[in-house]
Structure formats: structure tokens, C-alpha cells
Amino acid sequence: MGGIFSKKGASGFSASSTAEEVTEGIDGTGLTAIVTGAASGIGVETSRVLALRGVHVVMAVRNKDAGTNVKEAILKEIPGAKIDVMELDLSSLAS
């Protein structure tokens, strides 16, 4: 009894597939990614999984304290992760 969210598409993934499942086997060593909104929601998970795959993650956040907390949580799970936190407010040209 799967429903529409468990139906796999041509990629082999469904709407219920996790980021870890989708990126399994990918080596991101040598890559750098800037993740906006990285202090909450999908930005946290994107940052975590990219770091898990070896990508150098630059977390662009409005609230640097919140971003630092997320960074510390990711480093606790993935001690060798390369993560930087950068304050960035996309609604402000000054940032």
C-alpha cells in the first residue's frame, strides 16, 4: 500500500527518497557548494548531506549564531567535514 509518494520514477527514486539515498556513491571531494538558508529546514539537510559526501560547504545564513549551531551539529556527526558559516542576507545588498 504505497501511494503516489512511494512510486519510483525513471531515476529510480520516489518523492519519499532521502538525500542520502539520492547521493549514495557520490564523492564530492574537491567540490565547494554555497547553501543559502542553511540555518534551518531543507538548507540544514542539504548542508549535512553535502558535507557527508565530502563537499566543502559554505553555509550562507542570516543568523550567524544559528548557522554556527548547525555547523557544530554537523561536525559532531561528520567530524572531518569542511564547513564554513558566512553571514548573508539576500534581501540586503550591504550583506
14/36: higher pLDDT: 36
40/95: higher pLDDT: 40
Task: Write down the pLDDT at residue 8.
Answer: 72
- Provide the domain count of the chain: 1
6 falls within a domain: no
* CATH classification of the domain holding 65: 3.40.50.720
67 falls within a domain: yes
Contact between residue 83 and residue 59 where contact means Cβ atoms under 8 Å apart = yes
Using DSSP's 3-state secondary structure scheme, residue 58 falls into: strand
Task: For residue 46, give the nearest of 24, 20, 12, 69 by alpha carbon.
Answer: 20
Task: Write down the pLDDT at residue 36.
Answer: 96
63 falls within a domain: yes
50 falls within a domain: yes
Average pLDDT, the chain: 91
1 falls within a domain: no
- The C-alpha cell at 63 is 543568523
DSSP structural state of residue 53? T
10 falls within a domain: no
66 falls within a domain: yes
For residues 6 and 45, what is the distance between their CA atoms, to the nearest angstrom? 21
**Bridge partners for 57 per DSSP:** 33, 83
- The C-alpha cell at 35 is 547553501
55 falls within a domain: yes
Domain boundaries, position 34: 28-90
**For residues 60-70, average pLDDT:** 97
